[in-house]
A = this chain, B = another copy of it.
């Protein structure tokens, strides 16, 4: 269970079960304080993090020695509300001693077999709402 508690404006404090906190916010022009990631940004962080973890684990398991790794992710939103992401571009930078084909295969395995965020984005969950 994740709990988001309203701070001020449109800013929330999110807490997970392990006790970590992050600030969720939006730009001043939309009523926020710009003191944290926005929800739409967090969606991209979730996807990049999930696939990045899979890829590092798989390349290392195949014997690769990664020295630097980064994921850049950018989404293009629809012009009209609700302004969903229509396209998302993910770029992996991987430095070290490993086989290029292992990196490529790792991203395929993440995309098609392991990444829960990618799979949720590909196949919509059933979302229910409750009020207390």
Residues of chain A whose beta carbon lies under 8 Å from any beta carbon of chain B: 1-6, 10, 12, 14, 16, 18, 20, 22-24, 26, 30-32, 34-50, 52-53, 56-57, 66, 68-75, 77, 81-94, 103-104, 107, 111, 113-132
Tell me the number of copies of this protein.
2
Secondary structure of the A side of the interface? mixed
Once the chains bind, are A91 and B6 in contact (CB under 8 Å)?
A: no
How long is the Cα–Cα vector from A45 to B64 in the complex, in angstroms? 33
Closest CB in chain B relative to A30 CB, distance in Å: 8
Once the chains bind, are B129 and A92 in contact (CB under 8 Å)?
A: yes
Once the chains bind, are B126 and A91 in contact (CB under 8 Å)?
A: no
Mind listing 26 A-B residue pairs with CB under 8 Å?
A1-B73, A2-B74, A3-B73, A4-B45, A6-B56, A6-B68, A14-B45, A40-B46, A40-B50, A40-B117, A42-B45, A43-B117, A46-B46, A47-B127, A81-B113, A82-B116, A82-B118, A85-B125, A86-B126, A87-B127, A88-B126, A88-B127, A90-B129, A91-B131, A107-B131, A121-B124
